Every structure is written in C-alpha cells, then in structure tokens.
Structure 1
Amino acid sequence: MNKTVNMNLGGFFFHIDEDAYQKLNRYFDAIKRSLSNEGREEIMNDIESRISELFSEKLTNDKQVLGIKDVDDVIAVMGQPEDYKIEDNEPSGENYAYATNRSKKLYRDKEGGILGGVAAGLGHYFGVDKVWIRIALVLLVFAGFGTGIIAYIVLWAVTPEAITTSEKLEMSGEPINISNIEKKVKEEFENVSEKFKNADYGKLGNQARNGAERIGSTLGDIFITLFNVFAKFIGAIMVLFASIGIISLLVSLFTLGSTSFMNVPWLDYFNTFNYTNTSMWFISLLFFFAIGIPVFFFLILGLKILVANMRSIGNVAKYTLLAVWIIAVGILILLGVRQATEIAFENKVVEKKIIDLKPNDTLFVKFRYNDYYTKDIYHTEDFKFVQDESNHNLIYSNNVRIEVMPTDENVAYLQIEKEANGKSFTEAKKRAEKINYGFKIEGNQIILDNYFLTDVNSKYRGQEVSLYLYLPKGTLLKPDASVERYDSSDSDFFRLRDSSNYSYRVGNEKIECLNCPADENDYDDSDTENTTKVIINEEGVKIENDTVISDTKDIKELKINKDGIIIKTK
C-alpha cells in the first residue's frame, strides 16, 4: 500500500502516488540543473504549467490518483533534460512524433499584431503571411458591406490571447517540451535584453514624456479610421439606393407618362379617379421632379462621402433644381386640393315604392345578378369597367346594401336611395340621378339587383345604392340566402340567420325568428342565467334553470312558443 500526496502544480491540485511524486521531483531537479541561471524561473513555471495540462488530460475525475505510469508518459512527451540542446531546431524520437501529430491552436498574437493580434494569429494558424489576412479583412469591409469589421470584432472577442510560452508554442504548432520552452523563453529574454542594450538612454526621457500623447494619438487614429470605414459604407449604401430610386422614377416616367399618347389598360382607371382631368404625363413629370430631385441630392451626398475630392455641381445647378422642386411640389399640392374639393359634397335621390301585401301574406326578398357581367351572385366588385351589349363603356359596382327597418305606417314600402359625391350638392345629385339600378316588386315578392351601372363619364365618385325595407308590425318575412351578403340591418332589430329556410315576424321591438333552432332564438344568450324554461310535452313537465320568483314584478319577459314557456327575470 502506497501513500498518496497532495500536490499543487501550475495552479492545479492533484492527488499523486508517493513514488510517482518522488520521481516527478527528481525530474524537476534534473531540469533545473540543466538550465542556466538566466530565465530559469520563467522556464520552470512554463514547464510546470505544461505538465499540469498533461496531467489534467489524463484525469477522468477529481479523486483519481496519478501513478508512476502517468509520470513516465509525461516525461516521454516532455523529454529528458540531457536529450536536448538549445541550438537544435528539430526534436527527435518520441517527441518528434508527438510534434508532427500535434495540431495548431488559434490564439491572438498581440506581439506581431497592430490592434488585437487577430490577423497575426490567423496567419500562424493557416501558415500564411499576416499581411494577406489583413488585405482579406479590408476587402470584406468594402466588398462584403462591412462584414470585415464585424468578423474582426467577433474574432477579437472569442479568440484568446497567446500569453504564456506554452500558448505561443501551440499557436505556431511547435511541440511543447523542455527544449522549446527553454528556447522560447531565452529568445524573448534576449530580445528584451537586446532592446535595452541598443536603447538610446538619452531619448528615453523624451519617449517617456511623450508616451501618453502617442498612445492617445494612436487610439484617436484607430477610431478615426474605423469611423471613416463606416462612413464609406454608409456612402456606398446611399449611392446604391439613390441610383435604384432614380432609375425607377425614369422607368415610371416613360411608362405611366407615355399613356397620354397610347391606350393602356390602366389609363381608364386613372381617368376615372382623376377628378381634375390633368394629363397623366404631366402628373408623372411632377412626381418625377418632386421625388427625383431630393433623391439626386441624396446620390450626390453619397458620392461625396466615397470620393473626398469630388467637385460640386455648382450653385446655379443647385438653385435651379431647388426652384424646380418647389414648383413641382406646389402644383401637386394644388392638384390635391382640387381633387379633394371634387368629392367634398354628398347628395342622393330617393325613390319610394309601396308593397301591396295581403293579410297573412309572407314577403319574399331576394337578390339577383346579371349573368352578362358575372356568373355568380357571390362574386362582387366595388368598381370595375364593363361594356354593355351596345358597346357602351360603363362603371359596374356591387356597392349595394339593404337594411330592414320598422315603420308605424300600415303598409310596407321599399325606399331606394342612390348616393354620389361632387364638388357641390347640385353636381352630386346629378351624378346620383345617373345611377342605373333595377328592382322588381311582384305581389308579395321583391327581386333586387345586386349591382348598379353608371356612365363612365360620371367617373367614380363614391356611388352607392342603399335600400331601406320598412315593415309594419306583424309582417311575415322570408329572405333568400342571397340577402345575407348585402344585409346591413341593425342586429338589435333584425338578426338575419345564415339560412333561407327561416321565417320571421315583425314584433314590437325586433323581428323574431319563427322556426330558428333554440340556440339561435331571439332571447339574449347572456341572460340565460336569469331565464327559466318550462317544457310541457308527451314526456311530462321539464324545468330548465330553476329560478325562484317571489314577485311578479321580477318577471321581465314571458314567452309561450313551441319550445315551451320561457320566463326572463330582471
């Protein structure tokens, strides 16, 4: 049974067998004896750190004990002190095999770098000159829309700096053994010594005195460089989008503007909404100047950011373009005001038709469509151009709505209201009179067109047809399924169900559904907790939602129908 020793090596805590510990101590003593006094402590610290890393790779848990075999494996990697000479450039034996199989690790080389050492570290890792890495990053800044800056910052943040001797050897892919560690430390020590030997001590005072100023100037230059790169990027974006904008405006000018000289599909639509009768070419030209001139100045600004010595376009050109822009915007504002005034007033024409219903007759209502303009009653258009059988150009619209309303009169009647807009009440009424809408009343049946037509010269001025069906109390009503698409009745008075099989009757305050299912009945579903239903049928008497009524004043409503007796309480 061997004793176990607790050992602190390179800042890490290990459990090691006593025999292995003694062998490791003898190994360290041999290394110390093989080293000269120059840089001995630094070399030993790096060697201990490396051996600590090798031991850590072997451990699978914190309680594992290192043995003699583990020490022998580490010595095989690091080598015996007497096997090396500082002037040797290549390792041999087992160490050479380990060196050739060892891969490089990515670190930042601040000693060979300018900012954070990212480019120098990538150069070590890929085995290329760091200059080419820097050129690639600069190209990414301009050709990759600034991705070079982002890549550099990300690599700076995630890549560790090579600080220790072991990390510097890993960065260059050299084996981390006694010879290389000693060689690396002595090289750095000699470089520092050489700098001190060659230093001009007469200048050291001035250098120290100006050190802070140089550091501040360097940092300032770095920030200015980064700002300039970012500004160039912004300038390139400005030039790109401004160029696209100007090209798009030119294409629009020669496509939309040319419609004044040729017949194109969208010209009729434009003229229908062009209440001022202004030429499309002239409007296109105004928009080109109103939008294109600011975009042009935006392009010039972007070019000046990219090209520092770019000449100005001159004050004459600037003021001329500014004047043209002001004129174009002013005319567009005037046209907009005129456009608004053309639809400032609304008026209508009203037609009233009496419906001659016999006692106990049911009024049937339905909508019909014209199969010349459409093949389905549910296919609707708010506005489109059509041509009738006589080749007359017309405006076709399904902007028709119907509202069922109560009346105190003894007869039912249909009120047709045709509405339109205009620059005055008189003009709006004239335009409303030109609306052609068809309907038919035959006995107890009303057949309504689901569309209207108007002449294309009337232009589209918000034309619509509103139908008001006034029904006295007790009138029986059966609407067709086509009515649902155009119904705009007040739901508190008439709630149309999605079925043509339901019949309705006009009551005191609302229209009741006579044959709707119980879950679609007229009573408010929100009051079900205050509703008692008594059902009497062949199965007996059934009471739903039992409620105690202590006073008849608590009764809000009492209904008796085919479902039973329905009592609503307050």
Structure 2
Amino acid sequence: MKKTFTINISGTVFHIEEDAYEVLQKYLINLKNHFGADEEGKEIISDIEARIAEIFSSKNAEEKKVITVAWVNEVIEIMGTPEDFAEEEGEEEITIASEAKRKRRLYRDPDHRVIGGVCGGLGAYFNMDPVILRIIFTVLFLVTSGAALLAYLILWIAVPKAINTTQRLEMRGQEATVKNIEKSIKEEVKEVKESYKKFKESDTFSKGKKSMEAGGDVVYNIFKVLLKVVVIIIGVILLLSGFFGLLGVISSLVIGHSFVSGWPMVWSPEIYMPDFLGHLVEPGTVTLGMILTGIIAGIPLLAMLYIGTKLVFRYKSNNTAIALSMIGVWFIALISLLVVSFGQVKHYKSRASVTNSQVIDCNSCSTLYLKLGEDKYNDYAEMDWEIDNYKVYVVDGEEVLVGEPRLDVIRSNSDDFVITVKSASRGKTREDAKENSQEIIYNYNLNDSTVLFDPYFFIEEGKKWRNQEIFITVKVPQGKSIYLGDNLVKIIHDIENVSNTWDGDMVGKYWVMKPEGLTENILEEQNTETE
C-alpha cells in the first residue's frame, strides 16, 4: 500500500502517489530555478503546469487511476528538462523539423486577429499567410452575396480561441514541450517590445506626447496662477488680522477698550485691564502681568503681520535668528506669566468663615417683616464687568467693589427669631482667610418687627477680591410667620418651602413655619387685604 496525496495543478485536482509526487515536485522546482522569478518566468511555469495538467487529465480520463511515477516520467519525457535545452543546434533543428510535422489543431488566433481571429487560426493551421485568407473571404463575400459571412460567423462560434501557450503551439503543429513553451513566450514578449518600440518612434506617439506636454503646461500654469491668488488672499487676511489685532491688544491694555471694537478677527475686551487686575492681584504684579500678557499676545500677531506682508509682497529675507529669538522671548514670557499667576493663585488656597448671630428681641412679634434696604449705588455708574455676583461702581472717581449677599430661611430651634450672618473668604492660609472674612463690611437694620437688609456688602478699601461671600440665615420659630418684601428677590437664595414655590414667587407674601416646613400663610394675607 502506497501513500497518496491530493494536489492542485493549474486549477485541476489530482491524486498522486508519494514517490511520484516527489519526482514531480523536484521537476517543477528545477524548472522554476531555471526560468527565474520574473514575470516572464512565472508565465512560462504557469503554461508548463497547464500542459502537465492537460496530459494528466487525458490519461486519467482513459485509465482513472492515481498518478504514478511512470506517468510523471512520461510527462517529463514529453515536456523535456532544462538539461535538454543545452543540446547542439543541429539536434534542435532536427527536433523542430520533426515537431513541425506533428498534427495541428484548429484554433482562432487572438494575436493576429482583425475581427475574430478566424483567418489567423486558419493561416496557422494551413501554414499560410492570414492576409491571403482574408482576401479569399472578402472575394467570396462579394461573389456569394454574403454567404461567406455566414461561414465566417459559424467558424467564429465553433472554433475555440487559443488562450494559453499550449494551444498556440498546437495551432502551429508544435508539441507543447518546455522548450517550445519558453520559445513561444519569449517570441511574444519580443513582439510586444518591438511593437511598443515602433509605436514610440512613430509620428502619432510624438504628436501625442507633445500634446500631452502642452496640456500639462497649460494645467500647470493655471494651477500656478490660482495658487498665487490663494497665497495673496491668505497673506492679506494675515496682514489685516495681525495689524488690527495688535491695535486691539495695545488699545485694550492701555486705554481699556479698542477703537477697532467689533471688527472681525480683533481681540477687544471692553475692560480696562490694569484696574480689573488691580482688584485681584497684589500691587506690583499688575504692570508685570500686563507686559507679559502683551508679549504673549503680541508676538503671534507680529508673526501674522510679517508672514502676511511676505506673502503679499513676495520679498525674501534670511531672518532665522530673529524668528528663533522671538520664539524664545515668547516662551520666556509664557513661563514668567505662569510663575506670576501661580504666585497669585496661592491667595485662594484656603477657605475660612466667621458667623455672627443676633436674637430678635420681640417676644410679642408673631410676624417678622423682611425687606431690602435702599440701593445707594443706583445712581452711580456701573462698570461693564462682574466677578461672581460682584459689581464695580465708580463713586467720586474711585472704583468700589461690592457683592450681593444670599438670604435663606430655616426653622429655629428656639422660640425666638434669630438672624445669623456668615462671612466667608479665601486666603493663603486659614488664618489669612479668616482675617479676610472679618474685614467684610455688611449691615442690616432692625426696627421693631421689620428688618432692612443692605443689598450689598463691601470689601475694605485697599483689600483684594478673595471670593468673599455673605450668607444670611433667618431662623423662624414654629407657629410664627415672616413676610418677604418684593425687592428681596435680589438676595433670596433657594428658600425651601412645602409647596416648592420658586423664590421669585415667594416675595410679597406671608409664610408661616409649620411642623412640615415653611407654608404660605393665606389667612394672614387675607386679613392684610381686608385691613
């Protein structure tokens, strides 16, 4: 019993004995090494494998057996080996002469066709010039009133086309051996090269090449002009942006607003930066911060201005050292500004608060009236910027920083009304933050059962903004009521109530503290309206 393999040769599956497989594999490897790995060699090997598959298929159809060593040796004898190619020239001529006498097969010749390759195939079969056969077909077409055309069509349909090299060799009566396959493919390659060479040397190729070059020049010139236009447009945009951007930065830093405000691509905040920063940072750092900010914003704008002028006016300059210097200055300014900013941020590191409470001395009061005091700064000019519920008013030429307190109402743990004021602030340390909290100025006035809360709290003159806050809490005993004045909506902050009424809708009404929470006192409101 012999071991068998299943192999695929040129798309056809065969069963082959182990020793036969070894002989066939060695033969194919020998052929591949001889013809090489280039495209021409691959094509020769492909045609050789197709011919081997054809021989095996014909023998297998007759005997229907597994491929044996005898079959492989027979194929090798038919196809030939690379060693056989070194035979003497005389022997080659004898071989070729004997091969020329082999039986030919009729195929349509696709390589020498005008319409379907019928005349080319007949010329190869009868060893005639295809031109003579075409003349004969033309004459017969005229003599037979078109009957020859029908014969041509029948041959076109019935006769197969010579697709591979083996069929082309059979069409000329040559055996499909390795030597003949190699010779046929090399002749085809040579014919293609000669045809291409003739085409390159022809007037048609020269004229076409000149036309392509002329068309390419036209496209190149159009693209070049369009590119120049685009570059100039970009240059103009960069030039204008850099110029007006510099004006915006300089005027914003110096006079507080830009006279080119509202223009496209212009940075122009309506803030006088020195005064603005003066409320936030320590003295002495404002000027340095402004200079560093101007450098950081100005150098990129200068670069835009320079690049824009260079693109528009197309001048050449060797300024690598200047460019590197400007980049170095920009990075130094950026690092310096980060260091200065980090030093100022430390003033907001810690947070502390101070709480003061006052019991309302009004035992007979069942209702406490909460109202907002007069806004003393309503007639003064207000700056166009805010910091977290802070406003800046100009009083007698001086800027005054004021903040809005927040008012809440909760249940009291005693039988008295109690008002607590919690002052909170930030600082470098908790002690510093506590000191900032104690320096916040806030007042409210008590007149019998009416409390007037100031609409603002103040920071002492010369002190900086450290996120100071005031939280007012009115504690209401159970069973007693409060009245929220209409203007109090400016400072009340998320007062919890049973009906979940919005703060803005709570003002102008009476509210009684019940066990379940703050509830609207409708009865008190009706009595007030009756009075």
* TM-score, normalised by the number of residues in structure 1: 0.47
| Paired letter, 2:391 | F
- Say which SS state the counterpart of residue 460 (structure 1) adopts: coil
| Structure 1 residue aligned with 2:514 | 507
Contact 2:310 2:316 in 1 (8 A): yes
- How big is each residue's C-alpha offset from its partner over 1:225-249, in whole Å with a ceiling of 9 and x where there is no partner? 2222212221222222222223444
- How big is each residue's C-alpha offset from its partner over 1:270-316, in whole Å with a ceiling of 9 and x where there is no partner? 35434132354433322222122222222332333334442222x33
Contact 2:402 2:458 in 1 (8 A): yes
Among 490, 497, 502, the residue aligned to 2:495 = 490
How far does residue 468 in structure 1 lie from its aligned partner after superposition?
Answer: 0.4
Query: In structure 2, do the counterparts of structure 1 residues 286 and 229 end up closer, same or farther at CA, with 3 Å as the change threshold?
Result: same
Query: In structure 2, do the counterparts of structure 1 residues 503 and 220 end up closer, same or farther at CA, with 3 Å as the change threshold?
Result: same
RMSD: 3.6
Worse-matched range after superposition: 438-447 or 460-469: 438-447
| Structure 1 residue aligned with 2:226 | 226
| Structure 1 residue aligned with 2:391 | 383
- Say which SS state the counterpart of residue 419 (structure 1) adopts: strand
Structure 1 CA distance for aligned equivalents of residues 516 and 358 of structure 2: 24
| Paired letter, 2:356 | E
Structure 2 CA distance for aligned equivalents of residues 237 and 387 of structure 1: 44
How far does residue 375 in structure 1 lie from its aligned partner after superposition?
Answer: 5.9
How far does residue 402 in structure 1 lie from its aligned partner after superposition?
Answer: 0.8
- How big is each residue's C-alpha offset from its partner over 1:520-544, in whole Å with a ceiling of 9 and x where there is no partner? xxxxxxxxxxxxxxxxxxxxxxxxx
Contact 2:280 2:466 in 1 (8 A): no
Contact 1:276 1:335 in 2 (8 A): no
- How big is each residue's C-alpha offset from its partner over 1:452-477, in whole Å with a ceiling of 9 and x where there is no partner? 23322112222222100112221122
- How big is each residue's C-alpha offset from its partner over 1:362-411, in whole Å with a ceiling of 9 and x where there is no partner? 2222221264x4469xxx983325669xx9x7845241121001133333
- Say which SS state the counterpart of residue 515 (structure 2) adopts: coil
Structure 1 CA distance for aligned equivalents of residues 228 and 273 of structure 2: 49
| Structure 1 residue aligned with 2:292 | 286
| Structure 2 residue aligned with 1:273 | 279
Residues 1:415 and 2:423 are matched in the alignment: no
| Structure 1 residue aligned with 2:410 | 405
| Paired letter, 2:476 | L
Among 472, 481, 484, the residue aligned to 1:479 = 484
Count the aligned residue pairs.
303
Query: In structure 2, do the counterparts of structure 1 residues 485 and 425 end up closer, same or farther at CA, with 3 Å as the change threshold?
Result: same
Query: In structure 2, do the counterparts of structure 1 residues 467 and 256 end up closer, same or farther at CA, with 3 Å as the change threshold?
Result: closer
Query: In structure 2, do the counterparts of structure 1 residues 497 and 228 end up closer, same or farther at CA, with 3 Å as the change threshold?
Result: closer
Residues 1:329 and 2:334 are matched in the alignment: yes
| Paired letter, 1:221 | N
| Paired letter, 1:504 | W
Contact 1:421 1:462 in 2 (8 A): yes
Structure 2 CA distance for aligned equivalents of residues 305 and 293 of structure 1: 18
| Structure 2 residue aligned with 1:301 | 307
- Say which SS state the counterpart of residue 440 (structure 2) adopts: coil
Structure 2 CA distance for aligned equivalents of residues 287 and 352 of structure 1: 45
| Paired letter, 2:222 | I
- How big is each residue's C-alpha offset from its partner over 1:413-453, in whole Å with a ceiling of 9 and x where there is no partner? 11111122222221121111112211233443323222223
- Say which SS state the counterpart of residue 420 (structure 1) adopts: strand
* TM-score, normalised by the number of residues in structure 2: 0.50
| Paired letter, 2:511 | Y
| Paired letter, 1:278 | G
| Paired letter, 2:236 | A
Which protein shows a greater Rg? 2
| Structure 2 residue aligned with 1:448 | 453
Contact 1:394 1:456 in 2 (8 A): no
Structure 1 CA distance for aligned equivalents of residues 213 and 247 of structure 2: 50
Query: In structure 2, do the counterparts of structure 1 residues 254 and 400 end up closer, same or farther at CA, with 3 Å as the change threshold?
Result: closer
| Structure 1 residue aligned with 2:47 | none
Contact 1:481 1:500 in 2 (8 A): yes
Contact 1:396 1:451 in 2 (8 A): no
Among 355, 363, 380, the residue aligned to 1:358 = 363
Structure 2 CA distance for aligned equivalents of residues 253 and 490 of structure 1: 43
Contact 1:394 1:453 in 2 (8 A): no
- Taking only the aligned residue pairs, the percentage that are identical comes to 18
Among 429, 441, 445, the residue aligned to 1:424 = 429
Q: How does 1:536-551 map to 2 (within 5 A)?
A: none
- Say which SS state the counterpart of residue 457 (structure 1) adopts: coil
Gaps of 5+ in 2: 1-201, 258-270, 381-385, 526-531
| Paired letter, 1:333 | L
Which structure carries more helix by proportion?
2
Contact 2:354 2:437 in 1 (8 A): yes
Contact 1:477 1:504 in 2 (8 A): yes
Query: In structure 2, do the counterparts of structure 1 residues 396 and 374 end up closer, same or farther at CA, with 3 Å as the change threshold?
Result: farther
| Paired letter, 2:211 | G
- How big is each residue's C-alpha offset from its partner over 1:18-44, in whole Å with a ceiling of 9 and x where there is no partner? xxxxxxxxxxxxxxxxxxxxxxxxxxx
How far does residue 353 in structure 1 lie from its aligned partner after superposition?
Answer: 0.8
- Say which SS state the counterpart of residue 342 (structure 1) adopts: helix
